[in-house]
Amino acid sequence: MAGTGVDMTAARPHSSGQVYALYGHLDPTALSLDDAFARGLSWHQIPTDALMALDTGHPTLVRATLERLARSGEPLIGAVGFDDWWNTALSVMNPGWALAPARALVIDKPGLYARLREHEVDVAQFLVGAVSTVFLREARDTLGPRPILKPATGAGSRGVYRYRDDLDLDANLALYHQILRQGHVDSRTPIIAAAYLGEDDAAREISVDLVIGDHAIRAATVHEKRTATAVHPFVDNLMISPPTDHVITAALDELPPVLSRTAAAIALEAGVLHVELRLHHGCWHVLDIGVRPGMGLVAHSALARTGIDPRLVHLAATLGARLDPAALLAARGAHAATAIMCSYVAASQRPQVRLDRYGELAARLRDEVTVFGWHLNVAEVDDPMYRPDAGLSVGLGAPDIATALIRLRSLLDPYQLTTDTDTTTESVVAQ
């Protein structure tokens, strides 16, 4: 789950590029990043300025940057990215990069939707055009009162906006320009407007992380998006796996053929797909696809449920390395159910936020064996212009979802943490 700071904390160094230079060697029998690191693999996050140089593709800049990233005694074997960007840099560092065509497809939204339709995968009706009052009017009149807007060349949640039918065209246009600016998206970028598939009372949204090997799906982890905000920024406050919503579970038998056709459309021999889907009028519609694992604790949840780390599978596919099929087949998850929660300090408790108090929580999380990952963001400053806050992303496993949620609440309730993002100055987005 990636954070978008507003006024509380500064961005972490190099946080805009989740790309890592890889050194040593990859043991094909490893099933997780930790296993791989223990058996001879290491990595170093590539600074943003180095990524910018690599992304130019200019021979002089590339040569100097590769020399900068070289390490004596450790061979540089490639690089891996865990977001949707820096594809030129990754192609430079991974000659013959097998993921390049798929990555190029998924950030071409019109091309992606056309390819999915060719493979009989349902997608929303859409238009493509330049940001303008004329385009917004056409989108609203053609696609319904609340179309979804997103950059046609983008991926993830940057620049995504649901048209607000309580505002006029000019106000929507002004707000969307600000959202594009905040996401560092050029306003001249073509925009895709898609029909909002949420008018149906039975509409539900899920994400699925697919592990693919030899052109076949080897594992699939389905997360139900239990709670989410309705307007930008879109925030998933609680995700569970497997789903328990009766509308979703009634439609799960229809999901495997949709996922198979989706994987065929992307034509990936090996790697990971993160697929966002919405159930609309009884049919699964693909909303978006990333050729990578889900962000943040989503990958940890998949590992906890399947015993296979999708981050490692993605890394191996990036290098063109083949993981041991027998090891993958023998993998078993540690938990039958998982839950991921994004929570925040309640507004009434902000004056009591102190590092020592949340140090106590950190100790509890470390001692809880069912917790498979957490991230605590705490800031403290004696300045009335800053509001103290703390945001916690935490994931844990259990025999069933009910038990997982009880365990989460028992950990978080004593610290007055809430999932109400209206009380926060920081948003956490799960993708």
pLDDT in tens, 125-170: 999 999 999 999 999 999 999 999 999 986 667 889 999 999 999 9
Instruction: Please tell me the predicted confidence (pLDDT) of residue 6.
Output: 29
Q: What percentage of the chain reaches a pLDDT higher than 70?
A: 86
Determine what percent of the chain is predicted with pLDDT higher than 90: 70
At residue 340 the predicted structure's pLDDT band, cuts being 50, 70 and 90, is very high
The token pair that represents 116 in the structure block = 């999915």
Instruction: State residue 1's pLDDT score.
Output: 30
- Residue 8: its pLDDT value, please? 29
Would you say 248 and 206 are in contact if contact means Cβ atoms under 8 Å apart?
Answer: yes
Q: For 281-291, what is the mean pLDDT? A: 94
Closest-CA residue to 381 (of 423, 351, 361)? 351
- 99/267 Cα distance (integer angstroms): 10
Tally the residues of the chain: 431
12 φ/ψ angles, rounded to the nearest 5 degrees: -70, 150
Q: What's the pLDDT score for residue 267? A: 95
Average pLDDT value for residue range 364-372: 94
Angle between helices 310-319 and 297-306 (to 10 degrees): 100
CA 28 to chain centre: 26
Q: Is the pLDDT assigned to residue 425 strictly greater than 90?
A: no
Report whether pLDDT(278) > 80.
Answer: yes
The token pair that represents 160 in the structure block: 């995504």
Residue 12 pLDDT: 43
pLDDT of 325 > 80? The answer is yes
252, 296, 417, 426 from 10: Cα distances, Å: 42, 19, 22, 12
**pLDDT tens by residue, 387-406:** 556 678 899 999 999 999 99
**Distance between CA 406 and CA 388 in Å, rounded?**
28
Q: Which pLDDT value is given to residue 380?
A: 67
Q: Is the pLDDT of residue 260 over 90?
A: yes
pLDDT at residue 429 is higher than 70: no
CA-based R_g, the chain, Å: 22
Pair 394, 377: CB distance under 8 Å: no
CB 163 within 8 A of CB 136: yes
Residue-by-residue DSSP string for 258-280: HHHHHHHHHT-SSEEEEEEEEEE
Per-residue pLDDT tens over the stretch 232-257: 444 458 899 999 999 999 999 999 99
Rounded distance, CA 11 to CA 326, Å?
Answer: 42
pLDDT band for position 106 (50/70/90)?
A: very high
Residue type, 21: A
- Specify the pLDDT at position 388: 56
The angle that helices 59-69 and 48-56 make with each other, rounded to 10 degrees, is 140
**Spatial CA neighbour of 227 closest among 315, 389, 344:** 344
Is residue 374 within 8 Å of 394, Cβ to Cβ? yes
Token pair 């998949």 is found at: 302
pLDDT confidence of 210, banded at 50, 70, 90?
A: very high
pLDDT of residue 379 exceeding 70, the answer is no
pTM, to two decimals: 0.89
Average pLDDT over the chain reads: 87
Distance CA 229, CA 204 (A): 14
- In this predicted model, what pLDDT tens digit does every residue of 63-95 receive, in sequence order? 999 999 998 788 999 999 998 889 999 999 999
The pLDDT value recorded for residue 427 is 34
Q: What is the mean pLDDT of residues 259-283?
A: 96
Question: Is the model's pLDDT at 345 over the cut of 50?
Answer: yes
Name every residue whose Cβ is closer than 8 Å to that of residue 182 and which is 6 or more positions away in sequence: none
**What is the pLDDT, as a whole number, of residue 368?**
93
Which one, of 268, 421, 30, lies nearest residue 260 by Cα?
Answer: 268
Q: What is the pLDDT of residue 422?
A: 56
**Tens digits of per-residue pLDDT, 175-197?**
999 999 988 888 888 999 999 99
